[in-house]
Amino acid sequence: MSPLIRVTKEFHFEMSHVLWNYDGPCRNVHGHSYRLFVTISGFPADNPDNPKNGMVIDFNDLKNIVKNNIVNIFDHTVVLSKKMDKDKTELFKKMFGNTVVVAYQPTCENLVADFAERIAPYLPSEVKLHSLKLYETASSYAEWFASNE
């Protein structure tokens, strides 16, 4: 039997956010160039008749899952907490157009946990989501690990 293998794919997107009720400069609208590393684990297919023989997952399949459930939703948007004043939320929607309202404070830490929940259900049953690493800046990131759940 093949050993358990981890496979990672990197994604990039631009997103702005506002931290509701925050006591620093991030209470203002600002944006980041996010880098998301998605790592899954599984056993490579071991069937010469399978066109995916030797793969844990086809990188193109992983790309489509993440693009459909993360990148296409969050890229070039402003993300707000649902706790934001309704009038301000409506103003943001009018000013920026692409606005995503989430049930949490849109910090890097909360975003990476949300992303894990958005990706996991779409993975093939034979692979598991192992970890996510979300860079908000070149030197700052948050990580999510399935083993910590």
CATH of the domain at 69: 3.30.479.10
pLDDT digits (tens, 9 = 90+) for 76-88: 999 999 999 999 9
Amino acid letter, residue 54: G
Count of domains for the chain: 1
The three-point CA angle 33-79-135 to 5° equals 30
Range of the structural domain that residue 117 is part of: 5-148
> Quick one: pLDDT at residue 26?
85
d(CA 26, CA 20): 9
Round to whole Å and give the CA distance between 87 and 120: 34
pTM above 0.85, yes or no: yes
- The β-bridge relationship of strands 30-42 and 128-137 is antiparallel
According to the model, what pLDDT value does residue 1 have?
63
Q: Are 146 and 128 in contact (CB under 8 A)?
A: yes
Reported as a single tens digit per residue, the pLDDT across 111-131 is 999 999 999 999 999 999 999
SS3 category, 22: coil
The residue among 60, 55, 43 whose CA lies nearest residue 2 is 43
d(CA 35, CA 63): 14
CA distance 121 to 21: 32
Average pLDDT score, the chain: 95
